[in-house]
């Protein structure tokens, strides 16, 4: 498997590309069913309440992570599909799409991992090998060595939290639950602090 830290560097490059180009290429579209599977029913209901119901509060943070992980194309496709269903076809699609965009933008901000230079500095501090070990532990399994634990703590919690947020945005990791990534990343930092 390719190194996760390389993925983050690619991701960082992608941020830059999208900032310059403004309109990123939309990757091959997944089926709506796949989109729903990534997102899950619970958060699906939360978004639904905000698009078609009366809830105007911000989306819960855990759902924001899942939303950003699912990605903008999937989110928009789910919105359009629901808005075009017989139950909602009388409601204005344009207004719903505006709301849908707002929800995504807010979540994007709330889960933003920080700018590319900052992330690159973090990766430099922990080193690609240890960065990779920690990433693997978070998204699947595997142990973090004592040596890498030390480097992780030295790199600092702020870097660590933001690198975990960056992991959530890697498209290849969409099948790994975002909530799991957040929780495991918190736990490994605490574990390394104590050891």
Ligand X SMILES: *[C@@H]1O[C@H](CO)[C@@H](O)[C@H](O)[C@H]1NC(C)=O
Binding residues vs ligand X (CB under 6 A): 46, 54-55, 57, 60, 141-143
Task: Give the single-character DSSP code of 60.
Answer: P
Least Å distance between CB 118 and ligand X? Answer: 30
Cβ closest to ligand X, residue 93 vs residue 110: 110
Please, are residues 102 and 78 in contact by the beta-carbon 8 Å criterion? no
* Nearest 10 degrees: Cα torsion 11, 16, 19, 24: -50
Least Å distance between CB 46 and ligand X? Answer: 6
- Residue 195 CA to residue 192 CA, distance in Å, equals 5
Cβ closest to ligand X, residue 48 vs residue 112: 48
Cβ closest to ligand X, residue 25 vs residue 141: 141
Least Å distance between CB 28 and ligand X? Answer: 32
- Residue 112 CA to residue 71 CA, distance in Å, equals 13
Cβ closest to ligand X, residue 40 vs residue 114: 40
Least Å distance between CB 60 and ligand X? Answer: 5
Give 143-171 as a DSSP string: PPPHHHHHHHHHH-HHHHHHHHHHHHT-G
- Residue 167 CA to residue 60 CA, distance in Å, equals 19
Cβ closest to ligand X, residue 121 vs residue 150: 150
Least Å distance between CB 85 and ligand X? Answer: 21
């Amino acid at each position: 498997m390719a190194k996760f830290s390389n993925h983050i560097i690619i991701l960082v490059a992608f941020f830059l590309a999208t900032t310059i180009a403004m309109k990123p290429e939309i990757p091959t579209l997944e089926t709506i069913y796949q989109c729903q599977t990534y997102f899950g029913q619970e958060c699906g209901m939360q978004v639904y309440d905000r698009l078609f119901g009366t809830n105007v509060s911000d989306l819960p943070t855990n759902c924001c992570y899942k939303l950003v992980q699912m990605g903008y194309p999937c989110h928009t496709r789910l919105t359009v599909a629901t808005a075009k269903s017989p139950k909602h076809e009388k409601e204005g699609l344009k207004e719903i799409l505006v709301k849908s965009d707002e929800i995504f933008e807010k979540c994007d901000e709330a889960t933003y991992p920080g700018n590319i230079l900052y992330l690159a500095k973090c990766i430099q501090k922990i080193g690609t090998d240890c960065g990779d070990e920690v990433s693997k532990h978070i998204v699947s399994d595997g142990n973090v060595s004592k040596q890498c634990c030390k480097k992780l703590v030295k790199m600092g919690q702020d870097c660590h939290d933001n690198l975990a947020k960056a992991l959530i945005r890697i498209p290849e990791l969409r099948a790994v639950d975002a909530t799991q990534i957040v929780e495991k990343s918190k736990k490994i930092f605490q574990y390394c602090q104590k050891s």
